[in-house]
Amino acid sequence: MKGWHKLKKYVMADLSQDSSSYASFSLGHWEAEATAEDSESTLEQAPAKMPRVDPLWGEEGPLLIEISLNDNLDWLKRRFSYPLNSGLVIRPLVIGGGSLEGAVIYLESQVDWQYLSRTVVQPLIAANLPGDPPLDVQMLTLRILTNSHATTTTYLGDIEQNVLNGSAVVIVDRLKEAVIVNVEDEEKRALESPKTENVVRGPQVGFTENLQTNLSLIRRRLNTPDLIVESGVVGKISRTRIAIVYLKTIANVELVNEVRTRIAAIQIDYVGDSGMVEQMIEDSPNSIYPGMLNTERPDRTAGQIADGYVGILVDNSPFALIVPANFPLFLQTSEDAYLRWQYSSFIRIIRTIGFFMSLYLPALYVAIANYHHEMIPTTLILAIAGTRESVPLPVAAEAFLLESMFELIREAGVRIPSVIGPTIGIVGALILGQAAVQANIVSPIVVIVTSATALASYTIPNYNMQFTTRILRFVYLGCASFLGLVGVVLLSMMLWANWAASNRFGVPNLAPIAPYRPSEDTLLRAPMKLQSSRPLSVRPRKTRKLPDVQGDAPSLPPEQGETRP
């Protein structure tokens, strides 16, 4: 009876009108023509807020800093399990060589020690304090700690969070405020080429695990004050920093608010990568199709943001998430925009063919070889029959076997240590190729079909979409062996219907193909000069991509002898 509530909907009519909040979110009246007023989205309810770390509460409200230095230090020691927890460092000092006691608190290995010493410890010790007026935080930040970025707080919760984030906190006896100095030791990987999205033409830099670096990579590409970065924290234990990035004059207000709302609703203790955030905020967790686009390319992210999409960046993750992601996006790369339209349209056609081959080719072969022989020309069918004469397995079993072997090799290729990496190629070629054919386990035509399918699947630029085709390929194979082409078509209808029916962040999956929206950048790409409007599917606030004649485009510097109007 445990699963009764799941089965109930199939047995008893559910006439309630309610539906899940994610499924009901929509950016527009999809099947109707787009009108100008649709683009002017407004937010009817109060905007959501990005999640923050919950403040620490005492009996009488938020915990405030005590007047006594020792009381504050005791609280911090208890909080960080000091001295059991070896990470916390409490550096007591006497400020200005007088009688005023203070302490610098930080986490070992989280701070740049030399920078801390130079900008915080030495200035505090060497400070020349006037007797009157007495020392306060204003004096500390404006006169003593002048070589670093310093802020103040009165809450113990803030102190805790900033110490964890790699800042140093200065607490002074008889002061009810503390100074937070950013001395974070940012050990980070150097900028490298993206691992999964290589291009021939275009920037060769990818995101890193550092959120600030990633944000700067985007900021460098979108030099406008309209670029908004909203920060928050997710994960009860990990307290991972997260940021949503969008252009306030272009991105749809409702879309941005929906992103905020979903991030704020995340209930999880640990966030290790943007992939976990993706799973927490996507519309249909049970769907086999990816819910949002992930990319490790800053140029791709910036390009999509400029089109009205919203980027989500998570600390410690080199993958940005882009929402909403409709089907054509998964077959596009950033390189498409850098190549001339003829070339990029051509490779997009290749990718589209690759996508469908990757899904259907083995199933089509099995269906035709099993049920629809008449489709194969006589000479070819005789050749196939000749090669299959000595193979004991049915066609479907052959295809299953070889596809499974290929999946094994692919997974092994990812996990195998790089030192013995080349071995996998040799072993794979032996298993999949000559040995299997010579042992009469499979026929050569199946080897060709499997190889072509594997090549086709690698043309899909998105890693998640590759998974979709890999899994569905087996399902289609099953249907093809059961009902031939009829089975393949019937299953396709079900899957495509489900895909076409659902939305991703308020935008139908198959937009702008169905529902149709005029677009110069879908499966084919128009010349750059003709790409005058942003994708209407994401309902940007400004649909015109190119600035008007009197618009706010950067103007050219005046020629010599010419004066500005």
Residue in 324, 508, 512, 535 binding another protein, rule: CB under 8 A: 508
374-393 positions binding another protein, by CB under 8 A: 374-375, 377
545 class by beta-carbon count within 10 Å (0-12 exposed, 13-18 middle, 19+ buried): middle
**DSSP-based three-state secondary structure for 546:** coil
CA distance 473 to 362: 7
Binding mask 429-468 for another protein (x = CB under 8 A): ----------------------------------------
Taking every pair of Cα atoms in the chain, the longest distance, rounded to a whole number of angstroms, is 105
| Residue 43 contacts another protein per CB under 8 A | no
Stretch that binds another protein, among 98-106, 149-157, 203-211, 481-489 (CB under 8 A): 481-489
Residue in 2, 6, 31, 128 binding another protein, rule: CB under 8 A: 31
CA distance 307 to 235: 30
Residue in 218, 510, 536, 538 binding another protein, rule: CB under 8 A: 510
Q: How far is CA 27 from CA 39, 304, 366, 540, in A?
A: 9, 17, 42, 10
Residue in 174, 201, 372, 544 binding another protein, rule: CB under 8 A: 372
| Residue 489 contacts another protein per CB under 8 A | yes
Residue in 94, 493, 530, 553 binding another protein, rule: CB under 8 A: 493
Phi, psi of 207 (to 5 degrees): -70, 160
Residue in 3, 4, 5, 32 binding another protein, rule: CB under 8 A: 32
**DSSP-based three-state secondary structure for 360:** helix
Stretch that binds another protein, among 23-31, 213-221, 274-282, 554-562 (CB under 8 A): 23-31
Beta strands in 429-544, from DSSP E residues, in sequence order: 503-504, 507-508
Residue in 212, 345, 498, 531 binding another protein, rule: CB under 8 A: 498
- Residues binding another protein: number (CB under 8 A): 42
Residue 101 pairs in a beta bridge with 94
Geometric angle at alpha carbon 297, from 294 and 299, rounded to 5°: 120
Stretch that binds another protein, among 16-24, 229-237, 297-305, 421-429 (CB under 8 A): 16-24
CA 138 distance to own-chain centroid = 41
CA distance 444 to 438: 9
Stretch that binds another protein, among 149-157, 305-313, 467-475, 486-494 (CB under 8 A): 486-494
Q: How far is the CB of 32 from another protein (least distance, A)?
A: 4
CA distance 244 to 50: 9
Q: What is the β-pairing status of strands 240-247 and 88-95?
A: unpaired
Residue in 234, 244, 485, 507 binding another protein, rule: CB under 8 A: 485
Which residue reads 């997009």 in tokens?
A: 348
Q: Which is nearer to another protein, 280 or 495 (CB)?
A: 495
482 class by beta-carbon count within 10 Å (0-12 exposed, 13-18 middle, 19+ buried): middle
Q: How far is the CB of 486 from another protein (least distance, A)?
A: 6
| Residue 10 contacts another protein per CB under 8 A | yes
Q: Which is nearer to another protein, 67 or 493 (CB)?
A: 493
Residue 47 pairs in a beta bridge with none
Stretch that binds another protein, among 42-50, 134-142, 372-380, 408-416 (CB under 8 A): 372-380
CA distance 210 to 327: 29
Q: How far is the CB of 508 from another protein (least distance, A)?
A: 7
Q: Where does this chain bind another protein (CB under 8 A)?
A: 10, 13-15, 17, 19, 24-26, 28-33, 368, 371-372, 374-375, 377, 483-487, 489-491, 493-494, 496-498, 500-501, 508, 510, 513-516
